[in-house]
Amino acid sequence: MRKKKKWLVGMLVIVNVFLLFGCGKRQETREDKVHIGVTYYNQSDTFLNELLAQFKEQLKNPEHEELEATVTILDAAGSQRTQDDQVKELIDMGCDVLCVNLVDRADPSEIIDLARDHDVPIIFFNREPVEEDLRQWDELYYVGAEAKQSGVMQGELAAEVIQKNTQIDKNRDGKIQYVVLEGEAGHQDSIIRTGNAVDTIKNSGIELEKLSYQIANWNRVQAQNRMEQLISQYQNKIELVLANNDDMALGAIDAYKKANYTESAWPVFFGIDGTDAGLRALADSELSGTVYNDKEGQAKAMAKMVEAIGTDEEIAEKYVYLPYIKVTSENIGEFLEK
Protein backbone atom coordinates (compact mmCIF):
# COMPACT_ATOMS: atom_id res chain seq x y z
CA MET A 1 0.00 0.00 0.00
CA ARG A 2 2.67 2.41 1.10
CA LYS A 3 4.88 1.47 -1.75
CA LYS A 4 2.10 2.18 -4.21
CA LYS A 5 1.56 5.64 -2.75
CA LYS A 6 5.22 6.49 -3.07
CA TRP A 7 5.15 5.39 -6.66
CA LEU A 8 2.11 7.55 -7.28
CA VAL A 9 3.75 10.61 -5.80
CA GLY A 10 6.76 9.95 -7.94
CA MET A 11 4.58 9.82 -11.00
CA LEU A 12 2.86 13.07 -10.10
CA VAL A 13 6.19 14.80 -9.79
CA ILE A 14 7.31 13.53 -13.14
CA VAL A 15 4.05 14.71 -14.69
CA ASN A 16 4.44 18.13 -13.09
CA VAL A 17 8.01 18.46 -14.23
CA PHE A 18 6.90 17.47 -17.66
CA LEU A 19 4.15 20.09 -17.62
CA LEU A 20 6.59 22.77 -16.46
CA PHE A 21 9.28 22.10 -18.98
CA GLY A 22 7.57 20.18 -21.68
CA CYS A 23 4.82 22.58 -22.76
CA GLY A 24 6.10 22.99 -26.26
CA LYS A 25 6.12 19.29 -26.85
CA ARG A 26 2.73 18.58 -25.40
CA GLN A 27 1.15 17.79 -28.74
CA GLU A 28 3.46 14.95 -29.56
CA THR A 29 3.22 13.19 -26.26
CA ARG A 30 -0.38 13.63 -25.25
CA GLU A 31 -2.64 10.83 -26.33
CA ASP A 32 -5.48 12.66 -28.02
CA LYS A 33 -7.15 9.78 -29.69
CA VAL A 34 -10.83 9.29 -30.01
CA HIS A 35 -12.60 6.28 -31.45
CA ILE A 36 -16.10 7.09 -32.66
CA GLY A 37 -18.78 4.46 -33.17
CA VAL A 38 -21.58 5.35 -35.56
CA THR A 39 -24.73 3.39 -36.30
CA TYR A 40 -27.45 4.62 -38.63
CA TYR A 41 -30.91 3.39 -39.42
CA ASN A 42 -30.42 2.37 -43.06
CA GLN A 43 -27.61 2.55 -45.55
CA SER A 44 -30.06 3.10 -48.41
CA ASP A 45 -30.83 6.62 -47.15
CA THR A 46 -29.40 9.24 -49.51
CA PHE A 47 -29.41 12.17 -47.11
CA LEU A 48 -27.71 10.23 -44.32
CA ASN A 49 -25.02 8.88 -46.64
CA GLU A 50 -24.22 12.43 -47.70
CA LEU A 51 -24.28 13.64 -44.10
CA LEU A 52 -21.91 10.87 -42.95
CA ALA A 53 -19.54 11.53 -45.85
CA GLN A 54 -19.35 15.12 -44.59
CA PHE A 55 -18.80 13.92 -41.03
CA LYS A 56 -15.80 11.82 -42.09
CA GLU A 57 -14.47 14.79 -44.01
CA GLN A 58 -14.76 16.99 -40.91
CA LEU A 59 -12.87 14.49 -38.79
CA LYS A 60 -9.93 14.59 -41.17
CA ASN A 61 -9.41 18.25 -40.31
CA PRO A 62 -10.21 18.57 -36.62
CA GLU A 63 -10.12 21.95 -34.92
CA HIS A 64 -7.82 20.41 -32.31
CA GLU A 65 -4.99 19.54 -34.61
CA GLU A 66 -3.48 17.04 -32.20
CA LEU A 67 -6.66 14.99 -32.08
CA GLU A 68 -6.63 11.74 -33.95
CA ALA A 69 -10.08 10.42 -34.69
CA THR A 70 -10.98 6.99 -35.97
CA VAL A 71 -14.52 6.09 -36.91
CA THR A 72 -16.46 2.86 -37.36
CA ILE A 73 -19.79 3.15 -39.18
CA LEU A 74 -22.44 0.41 -38.99
CA ASP A 75 -25.72 0.01 -40.88
CA ALA A 76 -28.67 -1.06 -38.71
CA ALA A 77 -30.61 -2.09 -41.84
CA GLY A 78 -33.91 -0.91 -40.44
CA SER A 79 -33.87 -3.05 -37.29
CA GLN A 80 -33.79 -1.60 -33.77
CA ARG A 81 -32.68 -4.97 -32.37
CA THR A 82 -29.73 -4.99 -34.75
CA GLN A 83 -28.88 -1.45 -33.72
CA ASP A 84 -28.99 -2.33 -30.00
CA ASP A 85 -26.52 -5.16 -30.70
CA GLN A 86 -24.33 -2.83 -32.73
CA VAL A 87 -24.13 -0.40 -29.83
CA LYS A 88 -22.94 -3.27 -27.62
CA GLU A 89 -20.37 -4.20 -30.26
CA LEU A 90 -19.12 -0.62 -30.60
CA ILE A 91 -18.75 -0.26 -26.84
CA ASP A 92 -16.88 -3.59 -26.64
CA MET A 93 -14.57 -2.35 -29.39
CA GLY A 94 -13.61 0.48 -27.05
CA CYS A 95 -15.40 3.41 -28.65
CA ASP A 96 -15.12 6.62 -26.61
CA VAL A 97 -18.24 8.19 -28.04
CA LEU A 98 -21.24 7.00 -30.03
CA CYS A 99 -23.17 8.75 -32.78
CA VAL A 100 -26.58 7.15 -33.09
CA ASN A 101 -29.18 7.65 -35.79
CA LEU A 102 -31.99 5.65 -34.22
CA VAL A 103 -34.04 3.16 -36.19
CA ASP A 104 -37.01 3.70 -33.88
CA ARG A 105 -36.69 7.12 -32.39
CA ALA A 106 -39.22 6.23 -29.67
CA ASP A 107 -37.13 3.31 -28.43
CA PRO A 108 -33.64 4.39 -27.33
CA SER A 109 -33.83 3.04 -23.74
CA GLU A 110 -31.65 -0.02 -24.21
CA ILE A 111 -28.99 2.00 -25.98
CA ILE A 112 -29.04 4.69 -23.34
CA ASP A 113 -28.72 2.11 -20.52
CA LEU A 114 -25.76 0.43 -22.24
CA ALA A 115 -23.96 3.70 -22.84
CA ARG A 116 -24.54 4.98 -19.33
CA ASP A 117 -23.34 1.70 -17.77
CA HIS A 118 -20.09 2.02 -19.74
CA ASP A 119 -19.86 5.79 -19.46
CA VAL A 120 -19.82 6.35 -23.23
CA PRO A 121 -21.56 9.60 -24.29
CA ILE A 122 -24.07 9.50 -27.16
CA ILE A 123 -24.70 12.09 -29.84
CA PHE A 124 -28.04 11.27 -31.43
CA PHE A 125 -28.52 12.78 -34.85
CA ASN A 126 -31.23 13.34 -37.49
CA ARG A 127 -33.85 11.10 -35.83
CA GLU A 128 -34.74 12.93 -32.67
CA PRO A 129 -35.50 11.03 -29.45
CA VAL A 130 -38.27 12.49 -27.29
CA GLU A 131 -37.09 15.02 -24.74
CA GLU A 132 -37.85 12.76 -21.80
CA ASP A 133 -35.39 10.18 -23.15
CA LEU A 134 -32.68 12.72 -23.76
CA ARG A 135 -33.01 13.82 -20.13
CA GLN A 136 -32.23 10.30 -18.89
CA TRP A 137 -28.53 11.07 -18.61
CA ASP A 138 -26.43 14.22 -18.94
CA GLU A 139 -24.07 12.72 -21.54
CA LEU A 140 -26.78 12.53 -24.20
CA TYR A 141 -26.87 15.07 -27.01
CA TYR A 142 -28.79 15.75 -30.20
CA VAL A 143 -27.81 17.32 -33.53
CA GLY A 144 -30.46 17.97 -36.16
CA ALA A 145 -32.82 20.58 -37.52
CA GLU A 146 -36.32 21.84 -36.77
CA ALA A 147 -38.93 20.01 -38.78
CA LYS A 148 -41.41 22.88 -38.61
CA GLN A 149 -39.04 25.30 -40.27
CA SER A 150 -38.52 23.04 -43.27
CA GLY A 151 -42.28 22.62 -43.73
CA VAL A 152 -42.93 26.35 -43.55
CA MET A 153 -40.13 27.04 -46.03
CA GLN A 154 -41.38 24.42 -48.47
CA GLY A 155 -44.84 25.99 -48.24
CA GLU A 156 -43.43 29.47 -48.89
CA LEU A 157 -41.51 28.25 -51.93
CA ALA A 158 -44.60 26.55 -53.35
CA ALA A 159 -46.86 29.54 -52.67
CA GLU A 160 -44.47 31.86 -54.46
CA VAL A 161 -44.22 29.64 -57.53
CA ILE A 162 -48.00 29.08 -57.69
CA GLN A 163 -48.75 32.79 -57.36
CA LYS A 164 -46.31 33.69 -60.10
CA ASN A 165 -47.40 31.02 -62.53
CA THR A 166 -51.11 30.77 -63.33
CA GLN A 167 -50.51 27.75 -65.60
CA ILE A 168 -50.06 25.54 -62.56
CA ASP A 169 -53.82 25.55 -62.05
CA LYS A 170 -54.20 23.38 -65.12
CA ASN A 171 -57.98 22.96 -65.03
CA ARG A 172 -58.47 26.62 -64.08
CA ASP A 173 -60.85 25.91 -61.23
CA GLY A 174 -59.13 28.38 -58.91
CA LYS A 175 -57.84 25.56 -56.69
CA ILE A 176 -54.60 23.65 -56.66
CA GLN A 177 -55.12 19.88 -56.60
CA TYR A 178 -52.24 18.35 -54.68
CA VAL A 179 -50.75 15.12 -53.36
CA VAL A 180 -48.21 14.59 -50.58
CA LEU A 181 -45.46 11.97 -50.44
CA GLU A 182 -44.58 11.38 -46.82
CA GLY A 183 -41.58 9.92 -45.01
CA GLU A 184 -41.83 7.22 -42.34
CA ALA A 185 -44.93 7.43 -40.15
CA GLY A 186 -43.16 7.90 -36.80
CA HIS A 187 -40.46 10.32 -37.96
CA GLN A 188 -40.49 13.88 -36.57
CA ASP A 189 -39.89 15.22 -40.08
CA SER A 190 -42.92 13.59 -41.73
CA ILE A 191 -46.19 14.88 -40.24
CA ILE A 192 -44.66 18.19 -39.16
CA ARG A 193 -43.27 18.99 -42.60
CA THR A 194 -46.54 18.10 -44.32
CA GLY A 195 -48.75 20.02 -41.91
CA ASN A 196 -46.66 23.17 -42.01
CA ALA A 197 -46.17 23.17 -45.76
CA VAL A 198 -49.90 22.82 -46.41
CA ASP A 199 -50.87 25.43 -43.79
CA THR A 200 -48.33 27.91 -45.14
CA ILE A 201 -49.68 27.61 -48.69
CA LYS A 202 -53.26 28.04 -47.47
CA ASN A 203 -52.32 31.02 -45.30
CA SER A 204 -50.87 32.74 -48.34
CA GLY A 205 -54.39 32.79 -49.79
CA ILE A 206 -54.12 29.86 -52.19
CA GLU A 207 -56.98 27.40 -52.24
CA LEU A 208 -55.82 23.81 -52.04
CA GLU A 209 -57.65 20.59 -52.76
CA LYS A 210 -56.11 17.47 -51.28
CA LEU A 211 -56.24 14.44 -53.54
CA SER A 212 -54.10 11.99 -51.60
CA TYR A 213 -51.39 11.51 -48.96
CA GLN A 214 -49.09 8.53 -49.50
CA ILE A 215 -46.31 7.18 -47.32
CA ALA A 216 -43.15 6.35 -49.28
CA ASN A 217 -40.65 6.11 -46.37
CA TRP A 218 -38.17 8.69 -47.76
CA ASN A 219 -37.46 6.31 -50.62
CA ARG A 220 -37.21 7.17 -54.31
CA VAL A 221 -38.41 3.83 -55.67
CA GLN A 222 -41.34 3.62 -53.25
CA ALA A 223 -42.31 7.17 -54.20
CA GLN A 224 -42.20 6.29 -57.87
CA ASN A 225 -44.53 3.32 -57.24
CA ARG A 226 -46.97 5.42 -55.21
CA MET A 227 -46.93 8.12 -57.85
CA GLU A 228 -47.57 5.65 -60.68
CA GLN A 229 -50.71 4.55 -58.83
CA LEU A 230 -51.75 8.16 -58.28
CA ILE A 231 -51.23 9.02 -61.95
CA SER A 232 -53.41 6.12 -63.04
CA GLN A 233 -56.05 7.17 -60.52
CA TYR A 234 -56.08 10.95 -61.11
CA GLN A 235 -54.50 11.22 -64.57
CA ASN A 236 -53.79 14.88 -65.36
CA LYS A 237 -55.67 16.23 -62.32
CA ILE A 238 -52.57 16.50 -60.10
CA GLU A 239 -51.14 20.03 -60.11
CA LEU A 240 -48.76 20.01 -57.15
CA VAL A 241 -46.59 17.35 -55.50
CA LEU A 242 -45.25 18.11 -52.03
CA ALA A 243 -42.63 15.57 -50.98
CA ASN A 244 -41.16 15.36 -47.47
CA ASN A 245 -37.71 14.92 -49.03
CA ASP A 246 -35.89 15.24 -52.37
CA ASP A 247 -35.59 11.52 -52.99
CA MET A 248 -39.37 11.12 -52.97
CA ALA A 249 -39.83 14.19 -55.20
CA LEU A 250 -37.36 12.59 -57.62
CA GLY A 251 -39.29 9.32 -57.47
CA ALA A 252 -42.46 11.22 -58.40
CA ILE A 253 -40.67 12.80 -61.36
CA ASP A 254 -39.44 9.33 -62.40
CA ALA A 255 -43.07 8.19 -62.49
CA TYR A 256 -44.09 11.04 -64.84
CA LYS A 257 -41.16 10.27 -67.11
CA LYS A 258 -42.08 6.60 -67.18
CA ALA A 259 -45.71 7.47 -67.96
CA ASN A 260 -44.43 9.53 -70.89
CA TYR A 261 -45.99 12.80 -69.79
CA THR A 262 -44.41 15.80 -71.50
CA GLU A 263 -42.86 18.25 -69.07
CA SER A 264 -45.52 20.86 -69.76
CA ALA A 265 -48.14 18.41 -68.46
CA TRP A 266 -46.26 17.71 -65.23
CA PRO A 267 -47.39 19.07 -61.89
CA VAL A 268 -44.86 21.17 -59.96
CA PHE A 269 -42.68 19.24 -57.48
CA PHE A 270 -41.14 20.43 -54.22
CA GLY A 271 -38.64 18.56 -52.06
CA ILE A 272 -36.54 19.05 -48.94
CA ASP A 273 -32.80 18.29 -48.34
CA GLY A 274 -30.84 19.67 -51.26
CA THR A 275 -29.14 16.33 -51.88
CA ASP A 276 -26.76 16.17 -54.85
CA ALA A 277 -29.45 14.63 -57.05
CA GLY A 278 -32.09 17.05 -55.74
CA LEU A 279 -29.95 20.07 -56.58
CA ARG A 280 -29.26 18.69 -60.03
CA ALA A 281 -33.00 18.27 -60.67
CA LEU A 282 -33.54 21.85 -59.52
CA ALA A 283 -30.78 23.08 -61.83
CA ASP A 284 -32.52 21.18 -64.66
CA SER A 285 -35.85 22.83 -63.72
CA GLU A 286 -37.47 19.48 -63.02
CA LEU A 287 -37.83 20.31 -59.35
CA SER A 288 -39.35 23.72 -58.59
CA GLY A 289 -37.76 24.18 -55.19
CA THR A 290 -36.11 22.49 -52.23
CA VAL A 291 -35.12 23.34 -48.68
CA TYR A 292 -31.51 22.81 -47.73
CA ASN A 293 -31.03 20.42 -44.82
CA ASP A 294 -27.62 21.66 -43.72
CA LYS A 295 -25.59 18.46 -43.71
CA GLU A 296 -22.28 20.33 -43.58
CA GLY A 297 -23.48 22.27 -40.52
CA GLN A 298 -24.79 19.14 -38.84
CA ALA A 299 -21.62 17.18 -39.57
CA LYS A 300 -19.53 20.03 -38.19
CA ALA A 301 -21.61 20.25 -35.02
CA MET A 302 -21.23 16.50 -34.49
CA ALA A 303 -17.48 16.64 -35.09
CA LYS A 304 -17.17 19.52 -32.66
CA MET A 305 -19.01 17.60 -29.95
CA VAL A 306 -16.87 14.53 -30.56
CA GLU A 307 -13.74 16.64 -30.25
CA ALA A 308 -14.99 18.21 -27.04
CA ILE A 309 -15.64 14.76 -25.60
CA GLY A 310 -12.23 13.51 -26.80
CA THR A 311 -10.41 16.42 -25.18
CA ASP A 312 -12.53 16.54 -22.02
CA GLU A 313 -13.99 19.92 -22.80
CA GLU A 314 -17.44 20.91 -21.75
CA ILE A 315 -20.22 20.78 -24.29
CA ALA A 316 -22.27 23.93 -24.05
CA GLU A 317 -25.55 22.76 -25.54
CA LYS A 318 -27.37 19.47 -25.30
CA TYR A 319 -29.36 20.25 -28.45
CA VAL A 320 -27.99 21.73 -31.67
CA TYR A 321 -30.45 22.62 -34.44
CA LEU A 322 -29.02 23.87 -37.74
CA PRO A 323 -31.28 26.23 -39.70
CA TYR A 324 -32.81 25.17 -43.03
CA ILE A 325 -32.32 27.36 -46.12
CA LYS A 326 -34.66 27.81 -49.11
CA VAL A 327 -33.09 26.85 -52.44
CA THR A 328 -34.43 28.13 -55.75
CA SER A 329 -33.00 28.48 -59.24
CA GLU A 330 -31.76 31.92 -58.15
CA ASN A 331 -29.46 30.92 -55.31
CA ILE A 332 -28.70 27.33 -56.33
CA GLY A 333 -25.13 28.27 -57.33
CA GLU A 334 -24.10 28.66 -53.68
CA PHE A 335 -25.25 25.13 -52.94
CA LEU A 336 -23.78 23.44 -55.99
CA GLU A 337 -20.38 24.64 -54.84
CA LYS A 338 -20.65 22.92 -51.45
Q: Which residues bind ligand BGC (CB under 6 A)?
A: 45, 47-48, 126-127, 187, 189, 218, 245, 272-273, 293
171 touching Ca ion, by CB under 5 A? yes
- Conformation bin of residue 217: beta by default, left when phi > 0, alpha when psi is -120 to 50: left
* 54 interacts with, out of Ca ion, ligand BGC, none, CB within 5 to 8 A per kind: none
Q: Rounded distance, CA 28 to CA 153, Å?
A: 48
Of the two residues 127 and 226, which places its CB atom closer to ligand BGC in the complex?
A: 127
25, HSE (Cβ side, Cα atoms, 13 Å)? 7
Q: What track of x and - describes contact with Ca ion for positions 197 through 236 (by CB under 5 A)?
A: ----------------------------------------
Q: Give 131-183 as a DSSP string.
A: HHHHTT-TTEEEEE--HHHHHHHHHHHHHHHHHH-GGGSTT-SSSEEEEEEE-
**Cα torsion for 272, 225, 256, 290, to the nearest 10°?**
0
- E strands present in the chain: 33-40, 68-75, 97-100, 122-125, 140-144, 176-182, 208-215, 240-243, 268-270, 290-292, 319-321, 325-327
* 109 interacts with, out of ligand BGC, Ca ion, none, CB within 5 to 8 A per kind: none
| Residue 272 beta carbon to ligand BGC: minimum distance, rounded to whole angstroms | 5
* 171 interacts with, out of ligand BGC, Ca ion, none, CB within 5 to 8 A per kind: Ca ion
- Conformation bin of residue 209: beta by default, left when phi > 0, alpha when psi is -120 to 50: beta
Of the two residues 133 and 273, which places its CB atom closer to ligand BGC in the complex?
A: 273
* 173 interacts with, out of Ca ion, ligand BGC, none, CB within 5 to 8 A per kind: Ca ion
Do strands 97-100 and 33-40 pair parallel, antiparallel, or not at all (unpaired)? parallel
Q: Rounded distance, CA 157 to CA 149, Å?
A: 12
Choosing from 169, 228, 276, 296, the residue that interacts with Ca ion (CB under 5 A) is 169
Of the two residues 60 and 164, which places its CB atom closer to Ca ion in the complex?
A: 164
* 294 interacts with, out of Ca ion, ligand BGC, none, CB within 5 to 8 A per kind: none
Q: Which class for 8: exposed (0-12), middle (13-18), buried (19 or more C-beta within 10 A)?
A: exposed
110 touching Ca ion, by CB under 5 A? no
Residues in the chain: 338
Give the binding range for Ca ion (CB under 5 A) out of 14-22, 78-86, 168-176, 188-196: 168-176
Phi, psi (rounded to 5 degrees) for 130: -70, 155
* 169 interacts with, out of Ca ion, ligand BGC, none, CB within 5 to 8 A per kind: Ca ion
317 touching Ca ion, by CB under 5 A? no
Of the two residues 16 and 171, which places its CB atom closer to Ca ion in the complex?
A: 171
Sign of CA dihedral 329, 332, 336, 337: positive
| Residue 199 beta carbon to ligand BGC: minimum distance, rounded to whole angstroms | 19
173 touching Ca ion, by CB under 5 A? yes
Give the binding range for Ca ion (CB under 5 A) out of 137-145, 162-170, 197-205, 214-222: 162-170
Q: Which residue's Cβ lies closest to Ca ion? A: 169
Binding site for Ca ion (CB under 5 A): 169, 171, 173, 175
